[in-house]
Chain A
Amino acid sequence: ETGVTQSPTHLIKTRGQQVTLRCSSQSGHNTVSWYQQALGQGPQFIFQYYREEENGRGNFPPRFSGLQFPNYSSELNVNALELDDSALYLCASSLVGREYNEQFFGPGTRLTVL
């Protein structure tokens, strides 16, 4: 069973730029959720994708967008980067229909915005 992988592991961008982060779900999982974890904070829910459709969104502006592909891999896109976007971005995959919502997390992508 392949775990959740994310790429890249680290990224440095400047204000105003755009970034794409990638996630490969665990084999057999049909749902992916993205979280932002600022330093010293708990993860904040960005959005979730199920069967290639957005299935819920947290309090993040529209410049945060995503995609889920038929193979259940996913992308998180952030436009017009701001300094406060510097954080660890976590992807988690899960299987809808399971009794409890066990989400399997990737190691994250550390984004630094200068």
Chain B
Amino acid sequence: GEDVEQSLFLSVREGDSSVINCTYTDSSSTYLYWYKQEPGAGLQLLTYIFSNMDMKQDQRLTVLLNKKDKHLSLRIADTQTGDSAIYFCAEDAGNNRKLIWGLGTSLAVNP
């Protein structure tokens, strides 16, 4: 079946690193995505990783993919208060590339 799981809450201090974890079930997913949702705003694509990659770095963001364990993580270095938001992990599934989403991890950054 299709299921994406994430921890619901994470609290970090400003300047620390944040690590948000996700597990997925569809081994045929081609791409995995991290989206950010701020209050009153739409979903914003942060980064993505192709399923045959282990790691992708994009400025402060590092994505790690363990395909064997179907585990995905997002590391945010030097976390800032502006990073406070809900972060969603999503996988694309099926021929129509529909996105299957986790419940989201609410990141709180404390000054």
Query: Are A and B bound to each other?
Result: yes
Residues of A participating in the B interface, judged by any CB pair closer than 8 Å: 4, 33, 35, 40-45, 48, 50, 55-56, 58, 90, 92, 100-108
Q: Is B101 an interface residue (CB 8 A)?
A: yes
Interface size class of B (residues with CB under 8 A): 20 to 34
Given contacts A41-B103, A42-B102, A42-B103, contact A55 B44 (CB under 8 A): no
User: Is there contact, CB below 8 Å, between B42 and A100?
Assistant: no
* Interface contact A42-B88, CB-CB below 8 Å: yes
Contact B98 A48 (CB under 8 A): yes
For B99, give its contact among A40, A50, A101, A108 (CB under 8 Å): A101
Task: Specify which chain B residues have a CB less than 8 angstroms from the CB of A55 in the assembled complex.
Answer: 96
Beta-carbon contact of B98 and A40 below 8 Å: no
B87-103 vs A, Cβ < 8 Å mask (1 yes, 0 no): 01010101111111111
Assess the A102–B94 pair: CB atoms within 8 A.
no
A90 with B42: CB separation less than 8 A: yes
A105 x B42 contact (CB < 8 A)? yes
Q: Are B50 and A107 within 8 A (Cβ)?
A: no
Judging by beta carbons under 8 Å apart, are A107 and B94 in contact?
no
On chain B, the residues within 8 Å of A106 by CB distance are 42
Does B99 contact A107, Cβ atoms closer than 8 Å? no
Query: Which residue of B has the minimal Cβ distance to A43?
Result: B101
Q: List 13 A-B contacts (CB under 8 A).
A: A33-B98, A35-B99, A43-B99, A44-B101, A48-B96, A48-B98, A56-B95, A58-B98, A90-B43, A92-B43, A100-B50, A101-B92, A107-B42
Identify the interface centre among B33, B50, B94, B101: most chain A CB within 10 Å of its CB: B101
Check A56/B94 contact, CB under 8 A, given A42-B103, A101-B99.
Answer: yes
**Bound-complex Cα distance A106 to B95 (A):** 23
